[in-house]
A and B are shown apart, each in its own frame.
Chain A
Amino acid sequence: MLNRRSLSSLAATLLVALALPAQAQFRVEISGVGATQLPIAIAKFRDEEKATPSLSISAIVRADLERSGQFRSVDAPGALDENSAPVFTDWRSRAADALAAGSITRLADGRFDVRFKLWDVVKGTVLAGQSTAVEAGDLRLAAHRIADTIYEKLTGNKGVFSTRIAYVTKGGGRYTVRVADADGEGGQVALTSAEPIISPAWSPDGKQLAYVSFERQKAVVYTQDTASGARREIANFRGSNSAPAWSPDGQTLAVTLSRDTGSQIFLVDRNGAIVRKLTSSNSIDTEATFAPDGRSLYFVSDRGGGPQIYRVSLNGGNAERVTFGGNYNISPSISPDGRTLAYISRVGGAFRLHTLDLGASNAQPVALTDTSDDEHPSFAPNGRLIIYASRAERRDVLMTTTLDGKIKARLLSTTADVREPSWGPYGR
């Protein structure tokens, strides 16, 4: 018998592929069905094919909203722009609750004027309108900002579509740190190396990346200003130097050093001077991440046997164990409100993305995936999505998921292995 539960799991495996022939390289794969999705129609922007043939602003906006899990796209035929007077009864009959339309005009100075308007179809009112002039290199940014405005107007929450992510690709014998839009597209190279690079982490101001590079035949922690390319050696002590995590004020980084033998967590300043040693155990202590208030640190330790996630106050005191289910729990990421822990837990032989409610006393881990090679979760700055690495079709891929695990999207279609995502802060 097909009950509600099996129906919803059937729906969850449904793969919706939105293929855009005009932009073959831009392909969005979204799977799953959310509980409450707001139906929105986003019309093709007037002149977008003429002005910007290599990318479709409306398609970017549409994909952003769908990936959030909170919107469902409704067809928007016909020619519309921000000056149109939509016939709201028509759009209501299409079951759209909101409608967006706009235009793109190439300006005399080579920039593009991007305009849009958002209507509440049900009430027949205008909700938002904007006009921005951007350089060609910021057209994707303009599209993501439109998606942010629509998202905020309709959900009341801040959108994250105009934020950036960093990740590492491996292909052709090279390791490359890339900085891309939150949808994984528009990737730009920050660093290329013949040796492995892991653990990129955005500074809280979104200007720098910390990462671990093996270019000196050992693990060394660097920071790099993304706009200028200027690099700084933050930790290059005897042994291995790894797992950088910025403090919320951006003034210090937690790093794992083996300089005293054994992997222990230290606090260093932005010039790499050791401030103090944060853990002293005879076990592995690594993968530190700060609580959003900066007062405590979550980290991974095998002091109890297998790796588990612990929390320690920066004012001292004993570390308390946070994860109890399973015998292999690693890679903590804390939601911006400090309430949810995302981490990787081994279940059987499978490494799966889980969350744990940090506020509830007897909270049980929740598996968000049914895949087996999940790695390195990172929260979006609004706490509504998690980006993580996984494997599909024998490649390392990046995925986003809503916190209930219902809507997942695979970012990027590339032949390279893509891994180690870090979601940057608001602003750029």
Chain B
Amino acid sequence: MNLTHSLLSTRSAMFAVFTAALLAGCSSVKLDDVPVETRTPTAAGAGAGAGAAGTGQSRVEPVDLTKGAGNAGGSGRVIYFDFDSYVVKDEYRGVIDSYAKALAADRKKHLSVEGHTDERGGREYNLALGQKRAEAVAKSLALLGAGDAQVEAVSFGKERPAVQGSDEAAWAKNRRAELNYR
């Protein structure tokens, strides 16, 4: 193979260098000087991939956030959106109005509006699309009397679908904004 020949032709002079490197490598292992280090792997969770947890240069320290977790999302009211749309449909006017009134009546109340998308497309772009939905709802709430500081629009993109599935019925249920008091 031509590739090999041309690449290899320049290398033969390096034979001596590598032999020297090999010898140097052999003698560099000083058994008496090397402290024996034993590290116990603490990696949690089922292993994707094989084998030994790293030591030495490969060591990764695990952080586990699942301990004491349990503040998963609420189950507030849901507003659904049409495909590729950020318009709050008229049918939700009553829902928005009642939340806005409740927030106006109690300025200490705080509401989280969580935007969501269906599963199609990239995670980050969907996060931005969900944000746009949440902000549309937040804007409607503000127009109807909720204070700006009382409402936070956030997004989960496609990361927390309400319904599993890859058909229009599932997608329609996932294009949504959820309203949860915080």
Across the A-B interface, the 8 shortest Cβ-Cβ residue pairs: A137-B55, A131-B25, A229-B61, A187-B49, A196-B159, A129-B22, A188-B60, A218-B154
- Is A330 close to B, CB under 8 A? yes
Residues of A in contact, count (CB < 8 Å): 110
Taking the nearest CB of chain A, how far is it from the CB of B17, in angstroms? 9
Smallest beta-carbon distance B123→chain A, Å: 5
Tell me which residues across on chain B come within 8 A of A239, comparing CB atoms: 131, 152-154
B75 beta carbon closer than 8 Å to chain A = no
A218 to B57, CA, bound (A): 34
CA A376 to CA B121, docked complex, whole Å: 10
Q: Known contacts A129-B21, A135-B37, A217-B112: does B72 contact A194 (CB below 8 Å)? A: yes
Point out the residues of chain A lying under 8 angstroms from B72, CB to CB.
194-195
In the complex, what distance in Å separates the CA atom of A420 from the CA atom of B9? 42
Which residues on B sit within 8 Å (CB–CB) of A199? 123-124
Q: Which residues of B pack against A, CB within 8 Å?
A: 1, 3-5, 7-9, 11-12, 14-15, 18-19, 21-22, 25-26, 28-29, 31, 34, 36-39, 41, 43-66, 69-73, 112, 114, 120-125, 127-129, 131-132, 135, 152-157, 159-160
Complex Cα gap A351–B157 (Å): 17
Measured CB to CB, the closest approach of chain A to B19, in angstroms, equals: 7
Contact partners of B129 in chain A: CB under 8 A = 284
The answer to whether A154 and B4 have CB atoms under 8 Å apart is yes
Q: Are B123 and A193 in contact (CB under 8 A)?
A: no
Which of B18, B49, B65, B132 sits near A412, CB closer than 8 Å?
B49
Q: Is B122 touching A140 in the complex (CB atoms < 8 A)?
A: no
State the CA gap A38–B8 with chains docked (Å): 12
Q: How far is the CA of A192 from the CA of B62 in the complex (A)?
A: 8
A93 to chain B, nearest CB (A): 15
CA–CA, A154 and B157, complex, Å: 46
Q: How many Å lie between the Cα of A193 and that of B63 in the bound state?
A: 9
Instruction: Name A169's closest neighbour in chain B (CB-CB).
Output: B48
- Complex-state Cα separation, A359 to B5, whole angstroms: 31
Contact across chains for B62 and A188 when beta carbons are under 8 A apart? yes
Provide the bound-state CA to CA distance between A60 and B59, in Å: 19
Residues of A within 8 A of B29 (CB): 107, 113, 131, 133
Closest-CB distance, A20 to chain B (whole angstroms): 11
* Contacts A128-B18, A258-B153, A287-B125; A137 near B7 (Cβ below 8 A): no
Give the contacting residue for B3; candidates A38, A125, A138, A263; CB below 8 A. Answer: A38
Taken together as a complex, chains A and B put the C-alpha atoms of A97 and B41 apart, in Å, by 41
Contact of B39 among A123, A137, A140 (CB under 8 A): A137
